[in-house]
Chain A
Amino acid sequence: MFRHALSAIQNIGHRVIEGMWRLGHASRFFILVLLKSGTSLRRFGLVIRELYFTGVLSLIIIVVSGLFVGMVLGLQGYETLQKYGSESAVGTLVALSLVRELGPVVAALLFASRAGSAITAEIGLMKATEQLAAMGMMAVDPVSRVVAPRFWSGVISMPLLAAIFSVMGVYGGYLVTVVFIGVDEGTYWSQMQSAVDFRFDILNGFIKSCFFGVAVTAIAVFEGYDAPPTAEGVSGATTRTVVSSSLVILGLDFILTAFMFRGVS
C-alpha cells in the first residue's frame, strides 16, 4: 500500500520533470522557428500556399459556427433580458460577448482542431516518411522551408478568422432577434454601437486572437516536428496538439482578460 503511494508520487514527479523538459524543448524550438523565418518572409509565396490550408479551408467551419453561436446568443439573451424589460440591450450583449470573448476563444478552439491538427499531422508524416531528412540532405533547412511558413500562415489567419467569426455572430444575433423575434433594427445596432468601444473591446479582442494564433500554431508545429516517426507517434502528437492548445487558449484567455479588462466594472 505504502509502496503504491510512493510509486504514484514518483510517477507524478517523473511526469512533472518530463513536462518541464518538453516545455524547455518547445520554447527553444519556438525561438529557432522565429530565427529561421527569414526565408518565409522573403519568399512569401510559401506562406500564401499554407494560408490556403490554414485559412481558406477553416473558413466554412468558422462561418457556420459563428452564425450559430450568434443566433443562440441572440435567443438566450433575448429570453433573459426580456424578463427585466431590457430586450433592447440584446445587441449589446451579443456584440460584447462575441468581440471580447467568444469570437477569439471559440474561433481559436475551432482553429486548433481544424488547422492545428492538420499542421501537426502533416509535419509529423513528413518526418516519418523521411521527407524532412531528405530535405536536410538537399541542403534545405526543413525548419525554414516547412515549419516557418506554416507557423506564419497560422499567425496571420487566426485574427482574420476570429474577426469573421464575430461578424457572423453579430449577424446571426441580428437574424434571430430582429428578423425572427422583431426587436427594432435601429435599437439593435445603436445599443450595440454605444456600448462597444473600438480600442477597449475590439482592439483587445483582436490582440487576444493574435496571441491565440501564435500559441496554437507554435504548439502545432512543435508537436509535428517532435513526433516520433511512426503512425502512433503522429496520431498521438495530433491529439496532443488539440488538447494542449485548447488548454493554453483557455488559460491564456484568463490571463489576457485579467490584464486587459481589470479596473473596469
Chain B
Amino acid sequence: MQRTTMDLWVGLFVMAGIAALMVLSLKVGNLNVYNPSQSYILTGNFENIGGLKVRAPVKSAGVVVGRVTDIQFSTQTYDAIVTMSMDSRFIFPKDTFASILTSGLLGEQYIGLAAGGDEDMLTDGDKIMKTNSAMVLEELIGRFLFDKAAEE
C-alpha cells in the first residue's frame, strides 16, 4: 500500500548515499590509481629533506607512483631516512635517482624518481642509493652570493 512508495524512496536514498561514497572514493580520492594494499616499500637517505612531509607524493615523469609514509632521523649517518610506499605496478631499476623537488616555486615538495639503466630492479625493502637533497632557498641564495664574490 503506502509502505511500498516509502520503501522505494528509502531505497533511492540509500543508493544515492552509496553512490556518493563511490564518487568520493573513485573520482575525488582517486582510489583506483593508488591502492596501498598492493604496494612495496623503498627507503632512501637524504642529506636534507627541506619541507618534505609524510604523505607527500612520489612521482616519476610527473605521474604519482607512491607516497611518503615515514620520515626518520638517523643518528648514525646524521641524515633523514625517508620511507616510501610504492604502487606495485611500477618498478624501477637499482640505479634510480631520487631527488626532492618542489612543484612550482613555492609549492608542495615531493620526491621525483628518475629511472636509471640497471638490469636489476628495486624490490620490497630496498634502499635507493642515489639521492639528491631538497633545494633550500637560503642555501641557494647563499651559494649564489658566494659565487658572485668569488668571480670578482
Tell whether A264 is near chain B: CB-to-CB under 8 Å.
Answer: yes
Q: Closest Cβ of chain A: how far from B71's Cβ, in Å? A: 11
Quick check: which of A26-34, A134-142, A200-208, A242-250 contacts chain B, the rest being far away? A200-208
Tell whether A215 is near chain B: CB-to-CB under 8 Å.
Answer: no
Interface hits, B3-58 → A, CB 8 Å: 3, 6-7, 9-10, 12-14, 16-18, 20-21, 23-25, 27-31, 33-34, 36, 53-55, 57
Q: Assess whether B24 is in contact with A202, with CB atoms less than 8 Å apart.
A: yes
Closest to A160 in B: B17
Cα–Cα distance between A197 and B36 once the two chains are bound (Å): 10
Q: Assess whether B23 is in contact with A167, with CB atoms less than 8 Å apart.
A: yes
Q: Render A174-215 as a binary contact track against B, CB cut-off 8 A, 1 for contact.
A: 000000000000000100111011111110001000000000
Residues on the A chain within 8 Å of B57, using CB? 194
Tell whether A117 is near chain B: CB-to-CB under 8 Å.
Answer: no
Q: Assess whether B20 is in contact with A164, with CB atoms less than 8 Å apart.
A: yes
Of A48, A56, A95, A157, which contacts B28 at CB under 8 A? A95
Tell whether B104 is near chain A: CB-to-CB under 8 Å.
Answer: yes
A196 in contact with B30 given A163-B24, A167-B23, A265-B53 (CB within 8 Å): yes
Number of interface residues of A (CB under 8 A): 37
A264 in contact with B29 given A51-B10, A56-B13 (CB within 8 Å): no
Tell whether B122 is near chain A: CB-to-CB under 8 Å.
Answer: no
7 shortest interchain CB distances as A-B pairs: A160-B17, A193-B30, A163-B20, A198-B29, A167-B20, A164-B20, A198-B31
Q: Assess whether B27 is in contact with A189, with CB atoms less than 8 Å apart.
A: yes
Residues on the B chain within 8 Å of A206, using CB? 21
Query: Residues on B close to A: CB < 8 A?
Result: 3, 6-7, 9-10, 12-14, 16-18, 20-21, 23-25, 27-31, 33-34, 36, 53-55, 57, 64, 67, 104, 106-107
Q: Assess whether A56 is in contact with B24, with CB atoms less than 8 Å apart.
A: no
A160 in contact with B54 given A52-B9, A194-B64 (CB within 8 Å): no
Q: Assess whether A197 is in contact with B55, with CB atoms less than 8 Å apart.
A: yes
A164 in contact with B55 given A52-B6, A52-B9, A196-B29 (CB within 8 Å): no
Q: Assess whether B107 is in contact with A86, with CB atoms less than 8 Å apart.
A: yes
Given A99-B29, A193-B29, 16 more contacts at CB 8 Å? A55-B13, A55-B17, A85-B104, A157-B17, A160-B18, A164-B16, A166-B20, A192-B30, A193-B30, A193-B33, A194-B57, A198-B29, A198-B30, A202-B25, A202-B29, A264-B55
Q: Assess whether B29 is in contact with A160, with CB atoms less than 8 Å apart.
A: no
